[in-house]
Amino acid sequence: MEFDTIAAISTPLGEGAIAIVRLSGPNAILIANKIFRSPNRKDLQGQASHTIHYGHLVDPKLDEVVEEVMLSLMKGPKTFTREDVVEINCHGGLVSVNRVLQLVLINGARLAEPGEFTKRAFLNGRIDLSQAEAVMDLIRAKTDKAMNVALGQMDGRLSRLIKTLRQALLETLAQVEVNIDYPEYDDVEEMTLPMMIDKCTWVREEIEKLLLTSSQGKILREGLSTAIIGRPNVGKSSLLNSLIQENKAIVTDIAGTTRDIIEEYVNVRGVPLKLVDTAGIRETEDIVERIGVEKSRQVLNEADLILLVLSNAESLTEEDYRLFEAIEGMDCIVIVNKTDLPTEIDLDEVKNLAGDKRVVTTSLLQEEGVNELEEAIASLFFEGSIEASDLTYVSNARHISLLHVAKATVTDAIEAAHNDVPVDMIQIDVTRTWEILGEVIGDSVEESLIDQLFLQFCLGK
């Protein structure tokens, strides 16, 4: 395939002050050379790969210095796109970065479409589709935890597992072929069905394990939607403020993420919380009284995590009881606030009502107990379910739906095998499973799907 040279502004993760204009393609170095001037006038085309050069960008027509830059030069195929790549690091603001971009466009580069760098990496065989999608998730990742999931996927953990599963299926298919082509080996034929059932059952178990992580993965990407509820004046707003203050939303500096979205997220010990917006929280204040237990339960059901706040300084009221009723069976932490004031609440009764939910005491006024609360949130989230290092997450909606289909087709194969359906018929289901798993890593996807996926990428990645 023949590609032209593309360019875009590409701001690195977590570094706000520096902006990069990235070039990729056969003329990347040539174009850079036209506009770059180092103190000793070196020729970029003669430089070694993976070297960094200091100098100025000069508009060749006006012979005018535009920017002071550091320029990294990387020759294909050891680059992200497998093409020649030049990254121009500018420390100026948006205006000067734009000037640099304009300069490379005037001198022969084309403005990259959204996701086009990643698309090239994919088309040039540098990454597979699930890795490409991980890049997209990375761009969107809102917290450390979500970023780790995306990084793990980019590492190819998911792809490796999927490849192993496909390999197993392919081997049984090959075995079936052999048996069909050489029917005289009767004893081998008999071995095929049990073997097929074994392999398919194993594949199904692995898919199920992956799907189990998918709800977690989804939560990780979007943040646990968290509702703070309680009677008026118990300290809900104070709690919200303290969570926001202590956990400055950890967010990457990425074009396209707007500030109001950012502000909803806080990162509590690696757990991303999407705090219900202020308006929402106000609404829940008298929620039970206003709309009744049934309805409020419905509203609360949409939250992944409930923080129920009570006041240490007052005895339990009818409303508190109804709140407890409303959150039955949900992930919830009970917070007894205002411990700096004399205790009026019946703590034993609170623990009784809470059942197996964690109860944490705080004085938000004196900033006490917030650590314990954060620990409770983290342990609730990670409780028994995550061994972060050896777990492959699936957090991508397309992967999840494909895995569901793969699970169904492999189940068909297993059932058919149990029912003594002829092996060459079962073969169809196994082949289908193999194909669908291939779609997860992009081995058998249509062009249009690829285009659609890459259009979702941010510019410059």
The site for ligand GDP (CB under 6 A) is made up of 230, 232-238, 337-338, 340-341, 363-365
Give me the residues that bind Zn ion (CB under 5 A), please.
236-237
Is 280 one of the annotated binding-site residues?
Answer: yes
Is 87 one of the annotated binding-site residues?
Answer: yes
**Shortest separation between residue 140's beta carbon and ligand GDP, angstroms:** 31
**Shortest separation between residue 281's beta carbon and ligand GDP, angstroms:** 8
Is 89 one of the annotated binding-site residues?
Answer: no
Residue 340 CB neighbours (<10 A): 13
Output 340 or 424, the one with its CB closest to ligand GDP: 340
Task: Pick one of Zn ion, ligand GDP, none as the site partner of residue 234 (Cβ within 5 to 8 A by kind).
Answer: ligand GDP
**Shortest separation between residue 363's beta carbon and ligand GDP, angstroms:** 4
Is 461 one of the annotated binding-site residues?
Answer: yes
Task: Pick one of ligand GDP, Zn ion, none as the site partner of residue 238 (Cβ within 5 to 8 A by kind).
Answer: ligand GDP
Is 235 one of the annotated binding-site residues?
Answer: yes
Output 101 or 234, the one with its CB closest to ligand GDP: 234
Output 207 or 281, the one with its CB closest to Zn ion: 281
Is 63 one of the annotated binding-site residues?
Answer: no
Output 47 or 237, the one with its CB closest to Zn ion: 237
Output 338 or 407, the one with its CB closest to ligand GDP: 338
Is 252 one of the annotated binding-site residues?
Answer: yes
**Shortest separation between residue 370's beta carbon and ligand GDP, angstroms:** 10
Output 236 or 274, the one with its CB closest to ligand GDP: 236
Task: Pick one of ligand GDP, Zn ion, none as the site partner of residue 225 (Cβ within 5 to 8 A by kind).
Answer: none
Cis peptide before 342 (omega within 30 of 0): no
**Shortest separation between residue 341's beta carbon and ligand GDP, angstroms:** 5
Task: Pick one of ligand GDP, Zn ion, none as the site partner of residue 230 (Cβ within 5 to 8 A by kind).
Answer: ligand GDP
Is 234 one of the annotated binding-site residues?
Answer: yes
Output 300 or 410, the one with its CB closest to Zn ion: 300
Which residue(s) pair with 360 in the sheet?
335
Question: CA 34 to CA 45: how far, in whole Å?
Answer: 10
**Shortest separation between residue 3's beta carbon and ligand GDP, angstroms:** 57
Is 233 one of the annotated binding-site residues?
Answer: yes
**Shortest separation between residue 306's beta carbon and Zn ion, angstroms:** 16
- From the annotation, which residues make up the binding site for (6S)-5-formyl-5,6,7,8-tetrahydrofolate? 22, 87, 126, 461
- From the annotation, which residues make up the binding site for GTP? 233-238, 252-258, 277-280
- From the annotation, which residues make up the binding site? 22, 87, 126, 233-238, 252-258, 277-280, 461
